[in-house]
């Protein structure tokens, strides 16, 4: 999967490629899906959620540009697969939030069984991030809101990167990479069209103070 699909599609970061090779994806999918675990496509994991396509996981991880010792926030733990990939990067601390209690519990169990002691899981509304551990050098969002949540903007460190799909509920969205500037503004780079499950927290309603587009 890594050699034929991900590397050949342009993923160059050797740490990311190694992480993709190390994580046993089949352990993050339901047993009846394991024969398909290493195909380059998303799979259902229950509760209307999916485990993302491996190429998309690798691309979003590479876009974060994480360095040794960085702290990263993931919004949307899902199966825990993306968190595990992040945890394989050199000396990175991962904080991950999942809104669905059953998925949060299952992901925690899988990550614990695999020995990822640098992953910290919490069940809750990822719209609000995890302010107790800010600032984050990277923030990755694995469900699609219709705008950048204001709390996530505030919790991103200056110079940090946020990778997030933004768009309407259903259909396709645009994947964005944002880099936080010294004045607090977010420099935006479009990474093309993607399809993610919708964001299900407060951000779906788009009614927070100071939110909306442009970021």
Burial (CB < 10 A; 0-12, 13-18, 19+), residue 8, is: exposed
Q: Which residue reads 């990939």 in tokens?
A: 85
In this structure, CATH architecture of domain 2-203: 3-Layer(aba) Sandwich (3.40)
Q: What is the structure's pLDDT at 162? A: 98
Q: What are phi and psi of 7, to 5 degrees?
A: -65, -40
Q: What is the structure's pLDDT at 202? A: 66
Cα–Cα–Cα angle for 159, 137, 25, rounded to 5 degrees:
135
How distant, in Å, are the alpha carbons of 71, 164, 182 from that of 87? 10, 19, 28
Q: Which two tokens stand for residue 138?
A: 């990277």
Domain spans of the chain, in order of start: 2-203
Q: What is the structure's pLDDT at 3? A: 67
Cβ atoms of residues 60 and 37 within 8 Å: no
Q: What is the structure's pLDDT at 213? A: 40
Q: What is the structure's pLDDT at 60? A: 98
Helices and strands, counts by H and E, the chain: 5, 9
Q: What is the structure's pLDDT at 206? A: 46
Residue 144's nearest CA partner among 203, 95, 93 is: 203
Q: Which residue reads 């994480």 in tokens?
A: 66
Cβ atoms of residues 124 and 99 within 8 Å: yes
Average pLDDT of adjacent 10-residue blocks, the chain of 215 residues: 81 95 95 91 92 95 96 97 97 96 97 97 96 97 94 97 91 94 96 91 52 41
Q: What is the structure's pLDDT at 30? A: 92
Q: What is the structure's pLDDT at 153? A: 97
Residues that are catalytic:
52
Q: What is the structure's pLDDT at 200? A: 84
Q: Which two tokens stand for residue 79?
A: 């199966």
Q: What is the structure's pLDDT at 211? A: 42
């Amino acid at each position: 999967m890594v050699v034929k699909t991900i590397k050949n599609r342009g993923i160059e970061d050797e740490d990311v490629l190694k992480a993709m090779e190390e994580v046993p994806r089949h352990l993050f999918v339901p047993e009846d899906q394991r024969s398909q675990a290493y195909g380059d496509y998303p799979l259902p994991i229950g509760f209307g959620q999916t485990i993302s396509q491996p190429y998309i996981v690798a691309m979003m991880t590479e876009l974060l540009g994480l360095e040794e010792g960085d702290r990263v926030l993931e919004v949307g733990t899902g199966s825990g697969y993306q968190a595990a990939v992040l945890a394989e990067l050199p000396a990175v601390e991962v904080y991950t939030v999942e809104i669905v209690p059953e998925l949060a519990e299952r992901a925690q169990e899988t990550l614990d069984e695999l020995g990822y002691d640098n992953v910290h899981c919490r069940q809750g509304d990822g719209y609000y991030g995890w302010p107790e551990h800010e600032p984050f050098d990277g923030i990755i969002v694995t469900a699609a809101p219709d705008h950048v949540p204001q709390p996530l903007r505030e919790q991103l460190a200056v110079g940090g990167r946020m990778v997030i799909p933004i768009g309407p509920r259903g259909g396709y969205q645009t994947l964005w990479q944002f880099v936080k500037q010294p004045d607090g503004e977010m420099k935006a780079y479009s990474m093309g069209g993607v399809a993610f499950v919708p964001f299900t927290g407060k951000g779906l309603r788009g009614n927070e103070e100071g939110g909306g587009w442009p970021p």
